[in-house]
Amino acid sequence: MTISASRKLRGVRFPADIEDAAWYGLAEAMTNALKHSTATRLDVRLAQVSGRLELEVADDGSGFDPPQAARFGLTALADRMAVLGGQLVVDSAPGDGARVRMLLPLPAPTEGDGRCASSSPTTAT
């Protein structure tokens, strides 16, 4: 597993509802990948870009047909993102692995609140 995150995100706190949705979303996407995909590689990416928190879980597993899977756990995940004005983007096809992106809008930063405005990824394995 590879986790990539902007250095500027270290120690940064977001509103509780954003953090809760991000935590739930990452946990759900990673669990689904480990449980269903037969993947040998799992990549997790976190970044703050253009006023939103972007989270991505990608795997090299068996993939799936997103419309068929929509009636399962991904519906609850999409709903959780939508409640906050965000979105869930799923890119997969049978045999091609999967990429699940969660895009959560962030409130405008106020001076001195510790939130970052740019993103430069670092990688930890």
What is the sign, positive or negative, of the torsion defined by CA atoms of 15, 24, 96, 44? positive
Task: State pLDDT tens for residues 24-58.
Answer: 999 999 998 998 899 999 999 999 999 999 999 99
What does the buried/exposed string (b/e) look like for 101-113 if buried means 16 or more CB atoms within 10 Å of the residue's CB? bbbbebeeeeeee
Is the pLDDT at 124 greater than 70? The verdict is no
Looking at every residue in the chain, the average pLDDT score rounds to 85
Average pLDDT over residues 72-77: 82
Q: Indicate whether 115 belongs to any domain.
A: no
- Read off the DSSP letter of residue 117: S
What is the distance of C-alpha 121 from the center of its chain? 15
Tell me, what CATH number does 45's domain have? 3.30.565.10
Q: Indicate whether 122 belongs to any domain.
A: no
Q: What is the pLDDT of residue 6?
A: 85
Is the pLDDT at 81 greater than 60? The verdict is yes
Q: Indicate whether 9 belongs to any domain.
A: yes
Is the pLDDT at 110 greater than 90? The verdict is no
When divided into structural domains, the chain yields a total of 1
Please tell me the distance from the alpha carbon of residue 47 to that of residue 53, in angstroms, as a whole number: 6
Q: What is the pLDDT of residue 112?
A: 54
> With contact defined as beta carbons under 8 Å apart, do 97 and 37 qualify?
yes
